[in-house]
Amino acid sequence: MKKPWSISTTVRNPERLKNFLKVLKILEGRPFNSENQIKYQILLIQHKFYKPTNLTREQGEYYDNIEREMPYVVAEQIFNTQQYQDPAMRGRNSVAPMNKMGLCIAKNSSNGIRITSLGEYFLSENCDLGKLFFIHFLKWQLPNPASNRFSREDGFAIKPFIGTLHLIDEVNRQWEILGNSPNGITKEEFALFATTLIDYRNVVVQARKVIEYRTGLRLQTNESSKRRFKNDFQKRFAQEFLQTRSIGRVNSFLRDLWDYGDNAIRYFRLTRYICIRGGGFNIDLEPRRIIEIKSILLSDDASPMTFTTVDDYIDYLADINQPVLPWETDIKLKNIVRVLIDDIKIFVENLELRSIAVPVFEFRDFTLLDKEALKLYIEELRVYYKNIQRIEIRYKSQDVENIKKYIEALRNIFKSENKKSIELERLVTLAINAFNDAIDIKPNYPVGDDNEPTFTAPSGKPDIECFYNTFNSVCEVTMLKDRSQWYNEGQPVMRHIRDFEESYPEKKAYCLFVAPRLHQDTMETFWIAIRHGYRGISQKIVPLTISQLIKLLEILIILKESNRRLRHIELSQLYDEIIEFANNVTDSLNWIEQIPTIINSWGEQMLA
C-alpha cells in the first residue's frame, strides 16, 4: 500500500533511547535469549525507565519517589504480575529500536549482546546528538532489510534525509529560474511534498509540484480563495499519490502528513544541515554548511544501497566511520576553513561597528594542517562562531521591541507551532538575556549553526547556566503542570544546582525555576531544600510561573523606557526576598501564594 515515509517512533525520544541502551550494556556479552530478554525488561523496570500499568500502591511508590532505589526482586514481581502472554517479547520489542539504529546488536541467538561503536559514542559524555543523527540519517534508507514497513513493491527507493536535501536544492533552483529569491520550502510544503518523495528518481518532478502549488497560491487574491485552492490541490495530490478517491483515506492521509513532516523537520534539524528561516516558516539548506551539502548532493543521489542480509545493513549503520564523508579531502576541508574564517571576520566586523565587544580569536595558518587537524580546527571555528552569535543575541535582547515580542510569545506558548518545551527554553533564555548585565547566559540545549535550539537540554545538566559579577545561577524550565512536574523536576533540579555550586564555588548560586503552573508537590520539595537543605546545605531556589516571568519583563520595559537599566544585583534582591519569605513561613503553599505580591512590591521599588 502506498504511503509517505515517516521517522519511526524508535528515534522520537533520544534520552529514552540512551537510557534503554545504558541498561542493555549491563547485559553486554550475554546471549540475547529468552531468559535475558526477560531480564532486560525487568532491568528497565528496576531502573524506572519503563513503567507498566496496573501497579499496586506500594509498587507505584518506587516510581513516585525518584530517590528510592527499586530492588531487582520488586522489579521482577512487577513484571510477573503483568501476566504477558509472551514475556520475552517485551525485551525484544524494547531492544528493537536500538538494533534498527545500529546502536547495538542483540539478536535472539546464542551470540552475545554487543554495543556497537555508534552505540558507545551515544553513551559517551561528549556525544553530539547532531553528529549521531547525521551519521544515522545519511545511511537510513527505504526499503531496508531491517524493516518491512516500507517495501520496494510500494514504490520506496530513497534515503529520505538525502532526498530531502535534493528536493530543497531543486526547488530553490527552479524558484530562482522564475526570478525569485530561493528561500527553501515552507513547513506545509515539507509535509506535503518531502514526506511523499519516496523514489529518488522523482526529485525534479516533485520539485515542479512544489512550484505549482506555490505559484497557484500566489495567484489567489484573498484568504478565502487561498483556503479553497489549498484544499482542492491537497486533495487532488493525495488522490493521485494514494491512487484512490476514498474521502476517508485522503483525509486521514493529509492529517498524518502534518505530524510526519513536523517530526521529520525536528530530527533533520538536529543534523545541522537544514535550518529554519523566514520567521520560522521555511526549511532551507544550512548556508554555513553549503560546501558539505553540495558535496553530498554531488556524491549521493539518494538511491538506496543493496544489502544481502539484515546483518550487513545493521553493521553498516553501526559503523561510526561510515560513510566516508565526501568533503573530507585536504582541498575541501581547507575551503571550509577559508569560508568559515571569512564569515566570522565579517560577523565580528559588523558587531564591532555596533560597539559590541567580541572576545579575540587567534586565527591559525591552516594551510599546513593535516586532515585530522583541519577537522578539529573547523569545529573550533564553529564553537567560536556560536559564542559570538550568543553575544549578538544578548545585545538584541536589550531592545524594548524584542522584549515585547518575547512577552507575546510567552503568552502564546501553548499555541506555538514549535515543540513547546524547546520553545520555552529558547524564550526563557532570551528573557534572562534581556534582564541585565550578565557576563554570559549559556543555554545547554543543542543548537544549529544559526544558534537556534534543535532539542531540549540533555538530562544531567541544567537547562540554562547564568554567570554574573556577584553571583551565578542555573535556570530550569518545564512545560509540565501536573504531578509529573514533581517527579521529573523535583530531585533533578536540586541535584543540578548542587553540582553547579560545586563547579563554581567562588560565588553564591541561585536556581530560577520556570513553569506554566507551580505544582504543590514540586514546591513542597523546593521549600524543604531552602529551609532544611539538600545534601546538608540549604539551596536558593526561586520558582516562577510563566505569567510571573512576563510580569518581570513588563517591569523591565518600563525601566528601559525611562532610560534605566536593571542591574543583576537588583534581580538578586528579588531572588533573596522570595527565598527569605520561604524561610519565614511554615507552609509551602503560603510561600507560593505570596510570590506575586513580592514581585509587585519589588517592581514598585524598582520603578520608584
CATH of the domain at 417: 3.40.91.50
Average pLDDT over residues 403-419: 86
CA 141 from chain center: how many Å? Answer: 23
Lowest mean pLDDT among 309-313, 358-362, 445-449: 445-449
- Across 430-447, b (16+ Cβ under 10 Å) vs e yields bbbbbbbebeebebbbbb
Q: What is the pTM of this model?
A: 0.85
- Whether 116 and 178 map to the same domain: the answer is no
Q: Based on the domain organization, do 370 and 445 belong to the same domain?
A: no
Return the C-alpha cell found at 527: 521549600
Map residue 511 onto helix, strand or coil: strand
- Residue 418, pLDDT score: 63
CA atoms within 13 A on the CB side of 194: 34
Distance between CA atoms of residues 578 and 76, nearest Å: 45
Q: What pairing do the DSSP bridges indicate for beta strands 282-285 and 185-186?
A: antiparallel
* Average pLDDT taken over every residue of the chain: 91
Which amino acid appears at position 309 of this protein?
T
Q: pLDDT tens digits for 363-394?
A: 999 999 999 999 999 999 999 999 999 999 99
Q: Residue 229 has what pLDDT?
A: 95
Of 286, 303, 320, which marks where a domain is finished? 303
350, 381, 412 - which closes a domain? 381
* Domain co-membership, 43 together with 114: yes
- Regarding whether 600 and 464 lie in a shared domain, the answer is yes
Kindly list the distances between the CA atom of residue 590 and the CA atoms of 97, 582, 593, 603, in Å, as whole numbers in the listed order.
Answer: 47, 9, 5, 20
Q: What is the pLDDT of residue 9?
A: 60
Helix (H) or strand (E) holding 441: strand 440-443
Is 217 part of a structural domain of the chain?
Answer: yes
Cα gap 592→603, rounded to integer Å? 18
Arithmetic mean of pLDDT, 484-510:
86
Average pLDDT score over residue span 9-30: 84
Q: What is the DSSP letter of 364?
A: -
Comparing 159 with 480, the larger pLDDT belongs to 159
pLDDT of res. 127:
87
DSSP reduced 3-state for 82: coil
Q: What is d(CA 213, CA 433) in angstroms, rounded to the nearest whole number? A: 41
- The model's pLDDT over 217-258, given as tens digits with 9 standing for 90+, comes to 999 999 999 999 999 999 999 999 999 989 999 999 999 999
How far CA 413 is from CA of 75, 261, 262, 485, in Å, comes to 39, 21, 17, 18
pLDDT of 11: 56
- Burial (CB count within 10 angstroms: exposed 0-12, middle 13-18, buried 19+), residue 461: middle
Instruction: Indicate whether 298 and 417 sit together in one domain.
Output: no
pLDDT of 597: 94
Region 270-283: mean pLDDT is 86
Q: Cβ of 604: how many Cβ atoms within 10 Å?
A: 10
DSSP secondary structure of 164-179: HHHHHHHHHHHHHHTT
388 falls within a domain:
no
In this structure, are 372 and 406 located in the same domain?
no
375/407 same-domain check: no
Specify which residues 514 forms β-bridges with.
477, 544
DSSP 448-467: -TTS-BSSPPPTTS-SEEEE
Q: Is residue 309 part of a domain?
A: no
pLDDT in tens, 99-150: 888 999 998 766 799 999 999 999 998 888 889 999 999 999 999 998 888 9
Q: Give the ranges where 536-587 is alpha helix by DSSP (H).
A: 546-561, 568-583
CB 424 within 8 A of CB 479: yes
Same domain, 549 and 595: yes
Picking from 512, 520, 535, 537, the residue whose alpha carbon sits closest to that of residue 486 is: 520
> Structural domain of residue 503, as residue ranges?
397-607
Determine, yes or no, domain membership for 279.
yes
Same domain, 451 and 566: yes
Q: Are 172 and 189 in contact (CB under 8 A)?
A: no
For β-strands 471-477 and 508-515, DSSP reports them as parallel
For strand 274-277 and strand 185-186, is the pairing parallel, antiparallel, or unpaired?
unpaired
Shared domain check, 253 and 292: yes
Would you state the pLDDT for residue 110? 64
Cα–Cα distance, 245 to 236 (Å, whole number): 9
C-alpha atoms less than 13 angstroms from C-alpha of 110 in its C-beta half-sphere: 0
Grid cell for residue 90: 517485551
SS3 378: helix
> Are 512 and 589 found together in one domain?
yes
Report the C-alpha gap between 512 and 478 in whole angstroms.
Answer: 11
Q: Is the pLDDT of residue 424 over 80?
A: yes
Q: Can you give the pLDDT at residue 496? A: 86
Q: For residue 299, what pLDDT is reported?
A: 95
How many domains does the chain contain in total?
Answer: 4
Is 115 domain-assigned?
yes
Burial of 248 (0-12, 13-18, 19+ CB in 10 A): exposed
- Amino acid identity, residue 244? T
Residue 130 lies in a domain: no
**Which stretches of 71-118 are assigned E, i.e. beta strand?**
104-105, 114-115
DSSP string of 240-286, one letter each residue: HHHT---HHHHHHHHHHHHHHHHHHHHHHHHTTSEEEETTTTEEEE-
- Write the CA distances from 26 to 39, 44, 73, 104, 115, integer angstroms: 11, 11, 17, 13, 10
- For the segment 412-420, the average pLDDT, to the nearest whole number, is 77
In a domain, 206, yes or no: yes
Q: Which of 124, 144, 165 is the last residue of a domain?
A: 124
Residue of 503, 582, 568, 506 lying closest to 539 (CA atoms): 582
Sequential DSSP letters for 398-422: TSHHHHHHHHHHHHTGGG-SS-HHH
pLDDT higher than 90, residue 415: no
Q: Which residue has the higher pLDDT, 378 or 451?
A: 378
Distance of CA 130 to the CA centre of its chain: 10
Asked whether residue 197 falls in the same domain as residue 260, the answer is yes
162-181 pLDDT per residue, tens: 999 999 999 999 999 999 99
Q: Is residue 554 situated within a structural domain?
A: yes
pLDDT, tens digit (0-9, with 9 covering 90-100), for 522-544: 888 888 889 888 777 888 999 99
User: Which set of grid coordinates corresponds to residue 434?
Assistant: 534581556
User: What confidence tier does 458 reach under pLDDT thresholds 50, 70, 90?
Assistant: confident
